[in-house]
């Protein structure tokens, strides 16, 4: 039941054989190799300023020295609470050069969410930037948690000198008033001179804790090693059919803290010597200008980005001729958007699939030649899948029937941090191989193309971000008027899905849905905000009295 048995070589349309075996390495070692090959090559383009591979590498080494100077040792956790800015790459690779484990945090997190994950991961140092909203959240976490050090970078100093000066002089309200001290350090303080103390970083070392909901429950830290991350980056590079990879310029609109961008953008570019034209966050006009200015050749994104581009008035006058392919992941691509994007822009748009637990990428439609709309394509080289029986994951699905997709490959995580009890639910052994259960129901056609047909898990995909219903439910249940709550995803044209809360009230309570929605949305992350709260007389329950999300979803949808 593996795709390799269903997809013989003539039907496999990626340019590298499916059976390819990749050599794992530490990410710092790969970065050093790429830097040494062409030190002056551009790595990051950021709002008019270009950083070479050598520049980012040397700054990463300096940051590693700074971490050592404040006592960070091999295995310690360094958190990144950053938008897409150049110091993200510096801190990411610099922490790894020091032997530390990176922990990615979404800039959308509330104080409560960030505090919980800082505590769960054991993060000692948190890196952010002097954007008021981010700094205020990070400072509250520093004051109320076991976090030891907050490092604050200067956005103005990452810009071309004239833009940085304008920001400092004309837009002071956009710069946080940072209270530096023993536990709040400037980025400049963390880039000392001297020599990096030797640290042995191997492919077998843990590199990244990437928080996710897994298939059930509260967010958990997926443990991704240097081996998993380095191989997945090489797997993504191996499906590029366009020749010289160092000539590629990727549009960097995906947030780097997201595992998709971590692999498909940052590490992919780093292992091949490509460059990234990055923007702090997705703004359609800025993205179109960046594509044209830097002559981008590839654009990994989520469906909402491509919808936004279609809707923008500047699209007809933007030159997209250098784009060879756009890759959509993170959420299902609506068929009409897919067709309209290609017809309007003339750029090929292909869908792919992955998850945090697989380091980001499992499959993709070929960038050139045969592809199938509505599918998630063929596996990246070195990967195998099976389909499990939907009712009994210890068995394979009946031949020809859809089943739960389970993935085996060198990019699959080691497990969840501090959650050994989840292994039994997260993995299954088939023919002596360990397969990751995805929670997605799929079918495989005769050419080895995969199609997701249903979801077992309850997570809601909001424009590529995962929202965990239980987290939102826990917050709204703190409202004294609310008795019961269920949150489900409902279809939305722009983001694919949006959370919606259904509640019952305590006797005598009189809160309206609008009041509850306003109260709730002020207390959760932006991506978790509900489109409405529906007050009902009752919520569906199972025979044993448990709130029944499945039945509610069926009623509503």
Co-location of 468 and 336 in the same domain: no
Co-location of 116 and 242 in the same domain: yes
**What average pLDDT does range 384-409 have in this prediction?**
93
Co-location of 170 and 310 in the same domain: yes
Cα 98 to chain centroid, rounded: 23
CB distance 215 to 457 below 8 Å: yes
Residues 6+ apart with CB under 8 A from 21: 382
pLDDT band of 10, cuts 50, 70, 90 = very low
Pairing of strands 42-46, 49-52: antiparallel
pTM for this prediction: 0.84
Give pLDDT, residue 557: 80
CA dist 93 and 267 (Å) reads 10
List, for residues 435-489, the tens digit of each pLDDT value. 999 998 899 998 899 998 877 767 788 888 878 787 888 899 899 999 889 999 9
Give pLDDT, residue 169: 67
More reliable by pLDDT, 553 or 111? 111
User: Which tokens belong to 116?
Assistant: 């919980």
Co-location of 346 and 491 in the same domain: no
CA dist 549 and 455 (Å) reads 13
Percent of the chain with pLDDT over 70: 95
H-helix segments, 175-294: 226-238, 259-261, 268-272, 284-294
Segment (H or E) for 138? helix 132-144
Q: Examine residue 12 and state whether it is found in any structural domain, yes or no.
A: no
Q: Examine residue 201 and state whether it is found in any structural domain, yes or no.
A: yes
**What average pLDDT does range 198-226 have in this prediction?**
87
CB distance 134 to 174 below 8 Å: no
pLDDT of 334 strictly over 90? no
Residues 6+ apart with CB under 8 A from 274: 245, 246, 247, 248, 249, 250, 268
Pairing of strands 249-252, 275-278: parallel
pLDDT band of 174, cuts 50, 70, 90 = confident
Q: By residue range, what is the domain housing residue 249?
A: 27-352
Residues 6+ apart with CB under 8 A from 357: 212, 214, 222, 412, 413, 426, 436, 438
Q: Tell me, what CATH number does 529's domain have?
A: 3.30.300.30
CA dist 387 and 96 (Å) reads 36
Q: Examine residue 295 and state whether it is found in any structural domain, yes or no.
A: yes
More reliable by pLDDT, 550 or 79? 79
Q: Examine residue 297 and state whether it is found in any structural domain, yes or no.
A: yes
Task: Write the DSSP assignment of 500-546 as a string of letters.
Answer: EEEEEE-TT----HHHHHHHHHTTS-GGG--S-EEE-S---B-TTS-
CA dist 80 and 91 (Å) reads 8
- How far is the CA of 415 from the CAs of 207, 229, 356, in angstroms? 13, 14, 11
pLDDT of 135 strictly over 80? yes
Give pLDDT, residue 9: 41
Q: Tell me, what CATH number does 95's domain have?
A: 3.40.50.12780
Segment (H or E) for 57? helix 53-69
Q: Examine residue 396 and state whether it is found in any structural domain, yes or no.
A: no
User: Which tokens belong to 23?
Assistant: 């050599």
pLDDT band of 4, cuts 50, 70, 90 = very low
pLDDT of 315 strictly over 80? yes
User: Which tokens belong to 147?
Assistant: 């976090």
CA dist 356 and 459 (Å) reads 13
* Number of structural domains in the chain: 2
CB distance 235 to 380 below 8 Å: yes
List, for residues 250-304, the tens digit of each pLDDT value. 999 999 999 999 999 999 999 999 999 999 999 999 999 999 999 999 999 988 8
pLDDT band of 213, cuts 50, 70, 90 = low
pLDDT of 52 strictly over 80? yes
Supply the mean pLDDT for the chain: 92
Co-location of 346 and 485 in the same domain: no
Q: Examine residue 118 and state whether it is found in any structural domain, yes or no.
A: yes
Q: Tell me the torsion sign for CA atoms 112, 117, 123, 125.
A: negative
CA dist 111 and 525 (Å) reads 9
Q: Examine residue 219 and state whether it is found in any structural domain, yes or no.
A: yes
Co-location of 221 and 101 in the same domain: yes
Q: Tell me the torsion sign for CA atoms 242, 248, 251, 256.
A: positive
CB distance 212 to 356 below 8 Å: yes
Segment (H or E) for 554? helix 549-556
CA dist 146 and 142 (Å) reads 7
Q: Examine residue 420 and state whether it is found in any structural domain, yes or no.
A: no
* Cβ neighbour number for residue 312 with a 10 Å cutoff: 15
Q: Tell me the torsion sign for CA atoms 161, 163, 165, 167.
A: negative
User: Which tokens belong to 495?
Assistant: 């983001």
Co-location of 210 and 335 in the same domain: yes
CA dist 260 and 252 (Å) reads 11
Q: Extract the runs of DSSP E, i.e. beta strands, from 398-532.
A: 403-408, 415-416, 427-430, 433-444, 450-455, 460-462, 465-467, 482-492, 496-505
List, for residues 404-424, the tens digit of each pLDDT value. 999 999 999 999 999 998 888
CB-count exposure of residue 428 (10 Å: 0-12, 13-18, 19+): buried
Last residue of a domain, one of 352, 374, 401: 352
Give pLDDT, residue 173: 76
Residue bearing tokens 């995580």: 413
Segment (H or E) for 250? strand 249-252
CA dist 466 and 438 (Å) reads 14
User: Which tokens belong to 523?
Assistant: 């207390």
CA dist 153 and 191 (Å) reads 11
Last residue of a domain, one of 352, 381, 413: 352
466 forms bridges with which residues in the sheet? Answer: 461
């Amino acid at each position: 039941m593996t795709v390799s048995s269903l997809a013989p070589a003539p039907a496999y349309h990626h340019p590298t054989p499916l059976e390819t075996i990749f050599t794992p390495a530490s990410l710092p070692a790969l970065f050093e190799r790429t830097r040494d090959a062409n030190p002056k090559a551009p790595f990051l383009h950021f709002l008019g300023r270009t950083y070479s591979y050598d520049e980012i590498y040397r700054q990463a080494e300096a940051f590693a020295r700074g971490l050592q100077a404040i006592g960070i040792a091999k295995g310690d956790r360094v958190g990144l609470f950053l938008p897409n800015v150049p110091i993200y790459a510096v801190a990411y690779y610099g922490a790894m050069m020091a032997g530390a484990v990176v922990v990615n945090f979404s800039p959308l997190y509330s104080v409560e969410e960030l505090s919980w994950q800082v505590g769960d991961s054991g993060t000692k140092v948190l890196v952010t930037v002097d954007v008021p909203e981010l700094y205020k959240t990070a400072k509250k976490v520093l004051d109320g948690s076991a976090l030891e050090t907050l490092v604050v970078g200067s956005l103005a100093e990452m810009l071309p000198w004239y833009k940085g000066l304008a920001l400092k002089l004309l837009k002071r309200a956009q710069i946080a008033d940072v209270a530096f001290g023993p536990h709040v350090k400037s980025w400049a303080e963390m880039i000392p001179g001297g020599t990096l103390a030797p640290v042995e970083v191997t492919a077998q070392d843990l590199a990244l804790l990437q928080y996710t909901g897994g298939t059930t429950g509260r967010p958990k830290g997926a443990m991704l090693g240097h081996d998993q991350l380095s191989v997945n980056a090489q797997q993504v590079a191996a499906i590029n059919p366009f020749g010289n990879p160092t000539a590629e310029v990727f549009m960097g609109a995906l947030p780097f803290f997201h595992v998709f961008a971590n692999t498909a953008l940052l590490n992919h570019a780093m292992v091949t010597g490509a460059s990234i034209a990055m923007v702090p966050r997705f703004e359609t006009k800025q993205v179109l200008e960046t594509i044209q200015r830097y002559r981008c050749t590839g654009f990994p994104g989520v469906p909402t980005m491509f919808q936004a581009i279609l809707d923008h008035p500047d699209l007809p006058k933007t030159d997209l001729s250098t784009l060879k392919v756009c890759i959509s992941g993170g959420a299902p691509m609506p068929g009409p958007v897919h067709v309209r994007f290609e017809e309007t822009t003339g750029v090929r748009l292909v869908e792919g699939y992955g998850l945090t637990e697989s380091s980001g990428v499992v499959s993709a439609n070929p960038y050139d030649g045969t592809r199938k709309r509505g599918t998630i394509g063929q596996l990246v080289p070195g990967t195998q899948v099976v389909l499990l029986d939907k009712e009994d994951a210890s068995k394979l699905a009946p031949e020809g029937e859809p089943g739960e997709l389970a993935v085996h490959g060198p990019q699959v995580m080691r497990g969840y941090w501090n959650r050994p009890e989840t292994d039994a639910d997260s993995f299954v052994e088939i023919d002596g191989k360990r397969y990751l259960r995805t929670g997605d129901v799929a079918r495989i056609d005769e050419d080895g193309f995969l199609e997701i047909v249903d979801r077992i898990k309850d997570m809601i995909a909001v424009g590529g971000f995962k929202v965990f219903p239980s987290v939102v439910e826990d917050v709204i249940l703190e409202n004294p008027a609310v008795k019961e709550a269920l949150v489900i995803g409902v279809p939305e044209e722009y983001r694919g899905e949006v959370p919606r809360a259904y509640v019952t009230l305590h006797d005598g309570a009189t809160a309206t849905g609008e009041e509850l929605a306003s109260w709730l949305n002020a207390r959760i992350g932006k991506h978790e905000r509900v489109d409405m709260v529906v007050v009902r007389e009752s919520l569906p329950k199972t025979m044993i009295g448990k709130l029944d999300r499945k039945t509610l979803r069926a009623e509503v949808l």
